[in-house]
Protein backbone atom coordinates (compact mmCIF):
# COMPACT_ATOMS: atom_id res chain seq x y z
CA UNK A 1 0.00 0.00 0.00
CA UNK A 2 1.37 3.41 -0.93
CA UNK A 3 -0.92 5.33 1.42
CA UNK A 4 0.47 5.84 4.91
CA UNK A 5 -1.17 3.76 7.63
CA UNK A 6 -2.59 5.61 10.63
CA UNK A 7 0.32 5.19 13.04
CA UNK A 8 3.06 5.93 10.45
CA UNK A 9 1.14 9.04 9.36
CA UNK A 10 0.77 10.19 12.98
CA UNK A 11 4.52 9.85 13.46
CA UNK A 12 5.27 11.56 10.15
CA UNK A 13 3.20 14.58 11.22
CA UNK A 14 4.98 14.80 14.56
CA UNK A 15 8.39 14.35 12.94
CA UNK A 16 7.63 17.14 10.46
CA UNK A 17 7.18 19.54 13.37
CA UNK A 18 10.24 18.59 15.43
CA UNK A 19 13.98 19.28 15.16
CA UNK A 20 16.81 18.67 17.61
CA UNK A 21 16.56 21.03 20.60
CA UNK A 22 12.75 21.29 20.43
CA UNK A 23 10.13 20.79 23.13
CA UNK A 24 7.42 18.16 22.73
CA UNK A 25 4.56 16.64 24.74
CA UNK A 26 3.36 13.05 24.95
CA UNK A 27 -0.07 13.55 26.53
CA UNK A 28 -0.73 9.81 27.06
CA UNK A 29 2.57 7.99 27.56
CA UNK A 30 1.15 4.47 28.10
CA UNK A 31 3.92 2.00 27.34
CA UNK A 32 6.21 4.76 26.12
CA UNK A 33 6.50 3.98 22.41
CA UNK A 34 5.60 7.52 21.37
CA UNK A 35 7.63 9.04 24.21
CA UNK A 36 10.71 7.22 22.94
CA UNK A 37 9.99 8.33 19.37
CA UNK A 38 9.68 11.97 20.50
CA UNK A 39 12.82 11.71 22.67
CA UNK A 40 14.84 10.62 19.65
CA UNK A 41 13.47 13.48 17.54
CA UNK A 42 14.20 16.26 20.05
CA UNK A 43 17.79 15.11 20.50
CA UNK A 44 20.12 15.69 23.42
CA UNK A 45 19.23 19.34 23.88
CA UNK A 46 15.45 18.90 23.56
CA UNK A 47 12.85 18.02 26.19
CA UNK A 48 9.79 15.77 26.11
CA UNK A 49 7.09 16.27 28.73
CA UNK A 50 5.05 13.11 29.28
CA UNK A 51 1.78 12.62 31.18
CA UNK A 52 -0.18 9.59 32.34
CA UNK A 53 -2.50 8.84 35.23
CA UNK A 54 -1.32 5.23 35.72
CA UNK A 55 1.72 4.08 37.73
CA UNK A 56 2.13 1.24 35.27
CA UNK A 57 2.52 3.67 32.37
CA UNK A 58 5.16 5.69 34.24
CA UNK A 59 7.06 2.49 35.10
CA UNK A 60 6.86 1.02 31.59
CA UNK A 61 7.88 4.28 29.93
CA UNK A 62 10.76 4.84 32.36
CA UNK A 63 12.05 1.35 31.62
CA UNK A 64 11.80 1.85 27.86
CA UNK A 65 13.65 5.18 28.02
CA UNK A 66 16.34 3.78 30.31
CA UNK A 67 16.92 0.94 27.86
CA UNK A 68 17.80 3.49 25.19
CA UNK A 69 19.58 5.78 27.62
CA UNK A 70 17.14 8.60 26.81
CA UNK A 71 15.47 9.22 30.18
CA UNK A 72 17.47 12.41 30.74
CA UNK A 73 15.70 14.32 28.00
CA UNK A 74 12.21 13.34 29.23
CA UNK A 75 10.24 14.71 32.19
CA UNK A 76 7.44 12.37 33.20
CA UNK A 77 4.41 13.49 35.21
CA UNK A 78 2.21 10.98 37.00
CA UNK A 79 -0.68 13.35 36.37
CA UNK A 80 -3.51 13.85 33.91
CA UNK A 81 -2.79 15.85 30.75
CA UNK A 82 -5.52 18.27 31.87
CA UNK A 83 -2.83 19.59 34.24
CA UNK A 84 -0.23 20.19 31.58
CA UNK A 85 -0.21 23.99 31.50
CA UNK A 86 0.53 24.20 35.25
CA UNK A 87 3.28 21.58 35.08
CA UNK A 88 5.23 22.66 32.02
CA UNK A 89 7.58 25.45 33.13
CA UNK A 90 6.31 28.88 32.16
CA UNK A 91 9.49 29.76 30.29
CA UNK A 92 8.68 26.90 27.92
CA UNK A 93 5.21 28.20 27.13
CA UNK A 94 5.06 29.36 23.52
CA UNK A 95 7.88 26.98 22.56
CA UNK A 96 6.26 23.53 22.33
CA UNK A 97 6.43 22.30 18.75
CA UNK A 98 4.51 19.01 18.84
CA UNK A 99 2.16 16.99 21.01
CA UNK A 100 0.69 13.53 20.60
CA UNK A 101 -2.34 11.87 22.18
CA UNK A 102 -2.80 8.15 21.69
CA UNK A 103 -6.28 7.85 23.17
CA UNK A 104 -8.05 4.92 24.78
CA UNK A 105 -6.71 2.32 27.23
CA UNK A 106 -3.21 1.14 28.08
CA UNK A 107 -2.38 -1.86 25.85
CA UNK A 108 -1.79 -4.85 28.13
CA UNK A 109 -3.20 -2.88 31.08
CA UNK A 110 -6.54 -2.19 32.74
CA UNK A 111 -9.01 -1.64 29.89
CA UNK A 112 -11.47 0.15 32.15
CA UNK A 113 -9.06 3.10 32.55
CA UNK A 114 -9.52 5.17 29.41
CA UNK A 115 -9.01 8.71 28.25
CA UNK A 116 -12.09 10.89 28.52
CA UNK A 117 -13.30 13.70 26.26
CA UNK A 118 -13.48 16.30 29.04
CA UNK A 119 -9.80 15.99 29.95
CA UNK A 120 -8.70 15.52 26.34
CA UNK A 121 -10.48 18.72 25.30
CA UNK A 122 -9.08 20.62 28.26
CA UNK A 123 -5.55 19.49 27.33
CA UNK A 124 -6.05 20.48 23.67
CA UNK A 125 -7.24 23.93 24.74
CA UNK A 126 -4.24 24.35 27.02
CA UNK A 127 -1.85 23.20 24.30
CA UNK A 128 -3.32 25.64 21.79
CA UNK A 129 -2.46 28.38 24.29
CA UNK A 130 1.06 27.25 25.12
CA UNK A 131 2.34 25.84 21.83
CA UNK A 132 4.51 27.66 19.33
CA UNK A 133 2.88 28.94 16.13
CA UNK A 134 2.86 26.07 13.59
CA UNK A 135 3.05 23.60 16.48
CA UNK A 136 1.21 20.37 15.70
CA UNK A 137 -1.11 18.33 17.94
CA UNK A 138 -1.82 14.79 16.74
CA UNK A 139 -4.71 12.79 18.19
CA UNK A 140 -5.03 9.09 17.41
CA UNK A 141 -8.62 8.12 18.11
CA UNK A 142 -9.53 4.48 18.77
CA UNK A 143 -13.29 4.29 18.40
CA UNK A 144 -13.70 0.50 18.21
CA UNK A 145 -14.59 0.27 21.92
CA UNK A 146 -17.62 1.82 23.61
CA UNK A 147 -15.87 4.67 25.44
CA UNK A 148 -13.79 5.37 22.33
CA UNK A 149 -16.91 5.83 20.22
CA UNK A 150 -18.26 8.24 22.82
CA UNK A 151 -14.95 10.12 22.89
CA UNK A 152 -15.04 10.39 19.08
CA UNK A 153 -18.61 11.74 19.16
CA UNK A 154 -17.60 14.51 21.57
CA UNK A 155 -14.15 15.28 20.16
CA UNK A 156 -15.15 15.63 16.51
CA UNK A 157 -17.69 18.44 17.04
CA UNK A 158 -15.17 20.16 19.35
CA UNK A 159 -12.29 20.13 16.84
CA UNK A 160 -14.59 21.09 13.96
CA UNK A 161 -15.56 24.31 15.69
CA UNK A 162 -11.97 25.47 16.36
CA UNK A 163 -11.69 28.85 14.64
CA UNK A 164 -9.81 28.42 11.36
CA UNK A 165 -7.92 31.61 12.18
CA UNK A 166 -6.56 29.85 15.27
CA UNK A 167 -5.65 26.46 13.78
CA UNK A 168 -5.78 24.18 10.75
CA UNK A 169 -7.65 20.97 11.61
CA UNK A 170 -7.27 17.80 9.53
CA UNK A 171 -8.92 14.38 9.72
CA UNK A 172 -7.09 11.38 8.21
CA UNK A 173 -9.08 8.17 8.08
CA UNK A 174 -9.56 5.05 6.02
CA UNK A 175 -13.26 5.07 5.23
CA UNK A 176 -13.76 1.62 3.71
CA UNK A 177 -12.20 -0.52 6.45
CA UNK A 178 -14.20 -2.74 8.78
CA UNK A 179 -14.17 -2.77 12.58
CA UNK A 180 -13.76 0.99 13.19
CA UNK A 181 -10.00 1.34 12.62
CA UNK A 182 -8.29 4.24 14.44
CA UNK A 183 -8.10 7.63 12.76
CA UNK A 184 -6.15 10.84 13.16
CA UNK A 185 -7.05 14.40 13.95
CA UNK A 186 -4.16 16.80 13.44
CA UNK A 187 -4.33 20.39 14.67
CA UNK A 188 -1.75 22.94 13.54
CA UNK A 189 -1.71 26.14 15.55
CA UNK A 190 -1.57 29.24 13.34
N1 LIG B 1 1.14 6.23 23.49
C2 LIG B 1 1.12 5.05 24.32
C3 LIG B 1 2.21 4.07 23.91
O4 LIG B 1 3.03 4.44 23.04
O5 LIG B 1 2.27 2.97 24.45
C6 LIG B 1 -0.25 4.42 24.41
C7 LIG B 1 -1.23 5.26 25.17
S8 LIG B 1 -2.66 4.38 25.73
C9 LIG B 1 -3.55 4.12 24.23
C10 LIG B 1 -3.62 5.63 26.55
C11 LIG B 1 -3.05 6.06 27.88
O12 LIG B 1 -3.74 7.23 28.29
C13 LIG B 1 -3.19 5.06 29.02
O14 LIG B 1 -1.93 4.70 29.51
C15 LIG B 1 -3.99 5.84 30.09
O16 LIG B 1 -3.57 5.59 31.40
C17 LIG B 1 -3.70 7.26 29.69
N18 LIG B 1 -4.64 8.27 30.23
C19 LIG B 1 -5.96 8.16 30.51
N20 LIG B 1 -6.42 9.34 30.96
C21 LIG B 1 -5.38 10.21 30.98
C22 LIG B 1 -5.21 11.58 31.34
N23 LIG B 1 -6.23 12.31 31.80
N24 LIG B 1 -4.00 12.13 31.21
C25 LIG B 1 -2.94 11.42 30.76
N26 LIG B 1 -3.03 10.12 30.39
C27 LIG B 1 -4.23 9.53 30.50
| Class of CATH domain 6-189 | alpha beta
Ligand 1 probe mutation, 8, 14, 88, 106, most atoms within 8 A of CB = 106
Q: Which residues contact 93 (CB under 8 A, 6 or more apart)?
A: 85, 129, 130
| Cα of 104 from ligand 1 centre, angstroms | 7
Beta strand pairing status for 183-189 and 167-172? antiparallel
10 Å CB burial of residue 161 (0-12, 13-18, 19+) is exposed
* Spatial separation of the C-alpha atoms in residues 185 and 73, rounded to whole Å: 27
Whole-prediction pTM: 0.98
* Spatial separation of the C-alpha atoms in residues 129 and 68, rounded to whole Å: 32
Does the predicted interface ipTM exceed a cut of 0.90? yes
Whether ligand 1 lies within 6 angstroms of the CB of 106 is answered as yes
Q: What are phi and psi of 76, to 5 degrees?
A: -100, 135
Residue 25 is predicted with a pLDDT of 99
Residues of the chain with pLDDT under 50: none
Residue 41 is predicted with a pLDDT of 98
Amino acid sequence: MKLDGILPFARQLVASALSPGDLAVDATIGNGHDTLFLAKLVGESGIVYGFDIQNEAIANTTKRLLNDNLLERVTLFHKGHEQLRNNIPEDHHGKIKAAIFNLGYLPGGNKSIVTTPVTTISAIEQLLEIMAPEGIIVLVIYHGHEEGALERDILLPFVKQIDQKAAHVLQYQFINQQNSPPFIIAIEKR
